[in-house]
Amino acid sequence: MEKMTKQFVGRVYGVQGQIVLVHCESEYRPSLLELLSAEEVSGVQLEVHSYSGRDLLYCLLLSSKEDVSRNMRIVTEGTTLSIPVGKSVLGRAINLYGQPVDGGKLLEYSDVRPIHPIARAAALKSKKERKLLETGIKIIDFFAPLIDGGRLGLVGGAGVGKTALLTEMIRNLNQTHPGVTIFTGIGERIREGFELWELLHKTGALDKTALIVAHINENAAIRFKIGAAAVTLAEYFRDEEKSDVLFFVDNIFRFVQAGNELSTLLEEIPSEFGYQSTLQTQIAQFENRLVSTDKNSISSIQTIYVPADDLTDPAVAAATPYFEAIVVLSREMSQEGRYPAIDILKSKSLALDRTYITEQHFKAVTAAIQMLNQYERLARIVTIIGESELSAQDRTIYERAMRLRNYMTQLTVTAEEQTGLPGVFVSRADTVADVEAILEGKFDSIPPEKFMYIGTTKDLTGGTLNTQA
């Protein structure tokens, strides 16, 4: 929409949380998503959400409600919410309006983009060659690999390590990925954003990373809109700068939650489970923009909070179909002190196919999953009668599976301050070779506990390698 001079719309009729009701008192009727402002008070911004009849507007409040009062005159310039784009956002942390929140100077930019673009006339095409991205985290690269241009979801309840794992993946992928990185913080803690900022600065990855955040203390309208703003940045770098993009989101559930808060204030009828009736549409509008072209890709990794550890929660169920890989974090694993606390058998990836992984990897992961399923059965038996009552064959399977489970634990750079031990990056090739050796029994003489928090099997001490297995 072209910019125009300020035109009177109407007056504030009422305020309901982050929803402002505006009574139209002129012939002009704003479009949906159009930005409105106060005529005499600077800083007040509203976005048209819907109409009630012809004269009453429901608007999202994108500024402080303390500045809004009844009968305030509302005007429009005929614009929509836009965000600065360009290389100037790299190395910076910004808010919904492109204003810095990192304490630095204002951005210098020459272009802005609407965060709600008109639908493209031509369908976007996928990249012809889709390779695997290497995170350096053994359990993910082996059991739930991420395809370039794909989406991976880190799914789990509170306190199981989603954000810590996401931060480690940002750090590792930044070092090997040739493109740019966009981090989107939706409704998360300020402390977590600061820690990520420090890590990126320390590792030298900040220069090619843009952080766009709406913290948990900001109103629901801003938290709901921040995702669209971040996607706009990703689309700009993909299309205009011809860059491959790493797109991280923490946390997609907070996006859903913000939408639910707004839906309640708008007095919309909720769904059967209490979520907004538009839940599926809102997630689809967000996820369907994260697509690749035949030239450049957007690869996305998103955390999804699971309320009460219930994977069947409607918000979780609505988001997961959009992911090629799903990594389920387990509270049981976390309580056992196994990090990353990932439930291998519940995690999955479409990339576990000969189209993407090597024949060696395919055979190893197939055998590993089979062995872990056997371990689950044997673990229940051991709980009742003890390991000593297992047959020799079952005991061999049980102990090899224990070695495999322990091998998949890993020290991370993100947790160095807590553990006092250096984090490690392990290549996919090393992981595949190590798992293959464990499954073949080449480490049967080494106690399973020796495999906890090693990098590769080269770090093992004690025992003798069985080269005849």
Give the CATH number for residue 401: 1.10.1140.10
Q: Is the entire prediction scored with pTM above 0.85? A: yes
Quick one: 74 and 89 in the same domain? no
For residue 467, is it within any domain? Answer: no
**Do residues 203 and 175 lie in contact, with contact meaning Cβ atoms separated by under 8 Å?**
yes
Quick one: 303 and 282 in the same domain? yes
Question: By C-alpha distance, which of 241, 217, 354 is closest to 295?
Answer: 241
For residue 18, is it within any domain? Answer: yes
CB neighbour list of residue 424: distance below 8 Å, 6 or more residues apart:
136, 410, 411, 455
Quick one: 114 and 216 in the same domain? yes
Quick one: 332 and 369 in the same domain? no
Taking residue 41's Cβ as centre, other Cβ atoms within 10 Å add up to 13
Quick one: 295 and 395 in the same domain? no
pLDDT tens digits, residue range 216-225?
A: 889 999 999 9
Quick one: 216 and 302 in the same domain? yes
- Strand 45-52 and strand 7-16: pairing? unpaired
Quick one: 334 and 385 in the same domain? no
For residue 464, is it within any domain? Answer: no
The Cα–Cα gap between 421 and 412 comes to 9
pLDDT along the chain (469 residues), means of 10: 70 93 94 93 92 92 90 93 92 91 86 79 55 95 95 94 92 89 90 82 85 91 95 94 94 94 91 89 93 90 94 93 96 93 95 94 97 94 87 94 96 88 94 97 94 94 51
Mean pLDDT of the chain: 90
- Strand 111-114 and strand 82-85: pairing? antiparallel
Quick one: 315 and 380 in the same domain? no
**Residue where a domain stops, chosen among 349, 376, 405:** 349
- Residue 331: strand, helix, or coil: helix
Number of domains in the chain: 3
**Residue where a domain stops, chosen among 58, 80, 102:** 80
Q: Where are the alpha helices (DSSP H) in 144-189?
A: 162-176
For residue 161, is it within any domain? Answer: yes
pLDDT of residue 123: 46
- By CB atoms closer than 10 A (0-12, 13-18, 19+), residue 253 is buried
pLDDT tens digits, residue range 7-42?
A: 999 999 999 989 999 999 999 999 999 999 999 998
CATH number of the domain within which 75 lies = 2.40.10.170
What b/e sequence results for 409-440 when a residue is b if at least 16 CB atoms lie within 10 Å of its CB, and e otherwise?
bbbbbbbeeeeeeebbbbebebbbbbbbbbbe
Taking residue 325's Cβ as centre, other Cβ atoms within 10 Å add up to 22
Would you name the residues annotated as active-site residues? 162, 188-189
**Do residues 212 and 229 lie in contact, with contact meaning Cβ atoms separated by under 8 Å?**
yes
Q: Contacts from 119-126 at CB under 8 Å and sequence distance 24+?
A: 124/291, 124/292, 124/293, 125/293, 125/294, 126/291, 126/292, 126/294
The Cα–Cα gap between 389 and 398 comes to 12
- By CB atoms closer than 10 A (0-12, 13-18, 19+), residue 23 is middle
Quick one: 143 and 279 in the same domain? yes
- The DSSP bridge partners found for residue 153 are 302, 326
For residue 1, is it within any domain? Answer: no
Quick one: 291 and 373 in the same domain? no
Please report, to the nearest 10 degrees, the dihedral formed by the alpha carbons of residues 275, 278, 282, 288 taken in order.
Answer: 120
Quick one: 65 and 17 in the same domain? yes
The Cα–Cα gap between 403 and 460 comes to 12
For residue 466, is it within any domain? Answer: no
CATH number of the domain within which 118 lies = 3.40.50.300
pLDDT of residue 121: 42
pLDDT tens digits, residue range 138-197?
A: 999 999 999 999 999 999 999 899 999 999 999 999 888 889 999 999 988 888 888 888
Domain that residue 428 falls in: 359-459
Written as six digits, the tokens of 77 are 């310039």
| Residue 52 host element (H or E) | strand 45-52
Question: By C-alpha distance, which of 58, 1, 46 is closest to 225?
Answer: 46
CB neighbour list of residue 305: distance below 8 Å, 6 or more residues apart:
156, 157, 158, 162, 251, 253, 254
**Do residues 327 and 153 lie in contact, with contact meaning Cβ atoms separated by under 8 Å?**
yes
pLDDT of residue 128: 53
For residue 447, is it within any domain? Answer: yes
- Secondary structure (DSSP) of 355-399: TTS-HHHHHHHHHHHHHHHHHHHHHHHHHHH-GGGS-HHHHHHHH
pLDDT of residue 34: 95
| Residue 5 host element (H or E) | none
What is the widest separation between alpha-carbon atoms in the chain? 88
**Do residues 186 and 255 lie in contact, with contact meaning Cβ atoms separated by under 8 Å?**
yes
The Cα–Cα gap between 413 and 423 comes to 4
Written as six digits, the tokens of 289 are 């923009």
Quick one: 201 and 318 in the same domain? yes
For residue 468, is it within any domain? Answer: no
The Cα–Cα gap between 421 and 368 comes to 28
Written as six digits, the tokens of 284 are 């689809």
**Residue where a domain stops, chosen among 80, 105, 126:** 80
**Do residues 79 and 3 lie in contact, with contact meaning Cβ atoms separated by under 8 Å?**
yes
